[in-house]
Chain A
Amino acid sequence: MEFRTMSRRRLLGASLGGAGAALLGLSGCGSDHGSVSAGTDHLSIWYWNGALSDKLLAVSARGVPGVPGLKVKGSPIAGDYKSKLRTSMAARAYVPDLACANSDVSLFFPDEGEFLDLRKLGADALEDQYLDWKWKSGISPSGRMIGFPLDAGPTALYYRRDLFEKAGLPTEPADVAAATATWDKYLALGRTLKSRAPGKPFLVSQISYVFRMALYQSPKQFVDADNHFIGDQQHVKRAWDLAVETYRQGLSARVLDSTPDYNAAMGRGKVASMITAVWAIGGLKDVAPKTSGAWRLTALPGGPTNYGGSYLTITRYCRDPEGAFAYLKWLLGPENQLKSYQEMALFPTTPAAYSKPAMRKPDPFFGGQIPVDVFGPAAEKAPVIFFSPYEDICNTPVFQELTNVETLGKNPEKAWRDAMNACERTLSQQGVS
């Protein structure tokens, strides 16, 4: 009896001690660097599915070519990637050595110390291989380069050649580009389209695309480098007015993205053109497979720009910064960017790749047109834009009000004032005015 009680207590004590040690281990183990790869023979890189080439990740997990002894293993992070990365950084534990960052890399500028300055690791020597605007967008206002160019999102006007033809409009990419050189011409074409093409197709799925593209054609956005709110100025108002004008002329199908209604509208030819980035091709092919061959691509009305595209960062917890930079140089060099394009449709940020045969394959979805003929020049001519850390919180209320205008019929003047008030209120909470 005595022996049994003791052993039971010992068992309890041992298991509790074990649980306690495990808990301590959770918080403490490997905290000498805070890197998730501490105690292993490889570096770790976090990405979301589709952000990096699986084939190249498989190669670097065995060993990065040209860098003896260096292994880099990728961890696809499911769910809310941004929150998970921020959580690990807030906890200063289990932070990856390298991490992908999305087009909103500027959100990290206030915490730029969390990332290594890639210039100090020798990035400057690579600058001329990459798109100028993309390179600059990874550099914070203080001059620290935290984001290395991963992929780009050059934009184009996607249009339904068949519907254009039936409306008696130009059909060839060069002619359509000339007919839609400005936003006003584009809207005029939309009116013709709606009155003459069968089924009265709309020009755009929703007016927020007009706003987004017109705003991205401006080097200035909502907040400038000195943390001043400039979103109430002409460059934003112009984009807003264009979007509202599109609504007034009845050229918007007024369907929200990634809803069943959007899918139906695209599949049934209710929307005859799209103004968006290269990465929308995959989604369009999924949503409207029956329209294959009918679409064409040409230059964006009002000039080229970029929408989206990711970056690669090296965190300050990285166990081997030189190794990580060597890996980055290998993974994002022109050769492997070309491979990533072939495998994952990641549009290269190295313009040298655009002329390679692998990128010049005709796409039957676009009637045999070579997409890079449109997207390549757009990527090379896109403007340098300054994105502050506050663009998202300003975009959110403006897009909300545009939705309110086109779906609820809200008065555009009032919507604009409400949007500006919401921007200023949220910004003042962040110390921006």
Chain B
Amino acid sequence: MQAGQIEQIEIDLLLEAVYRRYGYDFRSYARASIERRVRQFLSRQGLGSIMELTDQVLHDPKLFSSLARYFSIAVTELFRDPWAYRVLREKVVPVLQTWPHFKVWHAGCSSGEEVYSLAILLREEEVYHRSTIYATDFNDSVLQQAREGIYEIDRLKDATRNYQGAGGKASFSDYYHARYGAAVMDGSLRERIVFSNHNLVTDTVFSEMHLIFCRNVLIYFDRGLQNRVLKLFDESLVNGGFLCLGSKEDIQFTEVADRYEVVDRQARIFKKKARP
């Protein structure tokens, strides 16, 4: 048996151990990215083998949370992919406005940058007061970070440029206070945000949604899990509700593809067709 195959077994065992011990299910994550992250985590922790890691993770919840955090690192930034926000502004918000109140689910919100971005956009379009935004992630420590809304100040330059690209109407500095090398997002942006723990792999529908925002999360999942999650979204969305995915994600070729029409291909925004 080759070394590569042995590593596969080791990773299987690690994921199985994590699932049985902590209930977090990474077994259906895209394999290549899990492998890369396990290897990186090993060298960061100075551990010799995956079995060693498995052994320690089984007995050390702290080590598990840092591993879980490692698995869930998502690339995110304020107003990431500005064009997508522009499309939201122009094509989605006018429809959201036709509901007296609407709900937004930001699934896999990570450290929260894009939740605040969305809140800013809704405020500028004067519909924030009609919204409830659910920001969920399976990882409590990133969720805590999201709740605090404190980001490194050197990332604000890019953020400001993105904000303008996204059709921002004010000055971006209106939305944060910078101090001691950090910037904290304006607390009033949090008013209608509900931060909550939700695991897309194992948990179910919790509310009816008008817009679901789930960007750069599906890319870490395998086909089967992607379909599960998209079905979960489909059950949550109202007729005529919107789904916004990351720039490398698509509903084409998935089980729900024919239930959606494309609002904007580049921004990966889809609208659920009305069905009885």
Do A and B belong to a common assembly? no
**Contact surface of B with A, Cβ cutoff 8 Å:** none
Residues of A in contact with B (beta carbons under 8 Å apart): none
